[in-house]
Amino acid sequence: MIMPEKPVQIPEYPDLKRKGALPAYLKYFWRDLVLLLVFLASMWIMQLLNHPIGTVRSLEIPFDSKIPLWPWTALIYNSWAPLIAGLAFYYLLRDRALYRRYLITMILGQLMADATFPFFQTRVPVPYEKVYGATDFFSKVLAMTYRADNNYCGFPSIHVILCTLTIIFIWKLDAAKPWFKVLVSLYFTAVAITTVTTKQHVVLDIPGGIVYALVAVPLALPLSRWVIRRCYKDPYR
């Protein structure tokens, strides 16, 4: 006699006050942790393209010279990656479906930008001498940023793409309080603005990033469905 298979017990969203709930949840949904690692790894693809490739253009406009250099905004500029990773983890604990769509859309948005750079590469005018010659703490942080990030992948701004998508998706998270959604929206708007106050980008890179993000949202829908069908088969839902 063939015994019927027992139904698989899919963990509920974890109660963080209950001991062992979080490790058990993450062990079951390990595929989602892999997806987060794939997203973090995809952020480095741009660095492979961040050097002169063919024709290098300039999108600088007169308004760029009016924007001041504020080295202290480098702290905000560099905070985006850990905050995005933290928010993604929060989605995983509150809405797995939204978490998967969020990260897949973010990966697609980056890949769209990466596909643009070899064919439409721009060079951002960076005030190296002014920053490297300063001795204050914030200028030193900005100098480290310049050393780690070359200036040949300006348009569209990946910073702005991911900030825009983060703002869009936080408003889709029903579990988040309205004040939290407003806070996230304001902060990531500030991150987008720091792309020009740190002179990491020019003004036109910002609308370019917004457009790429808005295009990525609908394009990622069929991709998300395909990834979920292929990688999240029963019982791992």
- What confidence tens digit (pLDDT) does each residue in 182-195 have? 999 999 999 999 99
Q: Which helix (H) or strand (E) holds 5?
A: none
Specify the pLDDT at position 230. 80
Q: Is residue 12 part of a domain?
A: no
d(CA 29, CA 10): 9
The total of structural domains in the chain comes to 1
d(CA 90, CA 102): 12
At which residue do the structure tokens 């509920």 appear? 12
Q: Which domain holds residue 189?
A: 70-231
Contacts of 233 (CB under 8 A, 6+ apart): none
Q: Is residue 169 part of a domain?
A: yes
Q: Is residue 167 part of a domain?
A: yes
d(CA 99, CA 188): 18
Q: Is residue 99 part of a domain?
A: yes
Q: Is residue 115 part of a domain?
A: yes
Specify the pLDDT at position 33. 92
d(CA 235, CA 237): 6
- End-to-end CA separation in angstroms for the chain: 30
pLDDT less than 70: residues of the chain? 1-9, 233-237
d(CA 136, CA 30): 43
Q: Phi-psi region for residue 133, left (φ > 0), alpha (ψ -120 to 50) or beta? A: alpha
5: tokens are: 């298979």
Q: What is the pLDDT of residues 42-80, one digit of tens each?
A: 988 998 888 888 888 999 999 999 999 999 999 999 999
Q: Is residue 95 part of a domain?
A: yes
Q: Phi-psi region for residue 52, left (φ > 0), alpha (ψ -120 to 50) or beta? A: beta
Specify the pLDDT at position 6. 52
Contacts of 53 (CB under 8 A, 6+ apart): 117, 118, 121, 152
Specify the pLDDT at position 149. 87
Q: Is 223 helix (H, G, I), strand (E, B) or coil?
A: helix
Closest residue by Cα to residue 122 from 58, 211, 203, 64: 58
Q: Is residue 2 part of a domain?
A: no
Specify the pLDDT at position 55. 87
Q: Is residue 88 part of a domain?
A: yes
Q: What are phi and psi of 106, to 5 degrees?
A: -65, -40
Peptide bond into 235 cis (omega under 30): yes
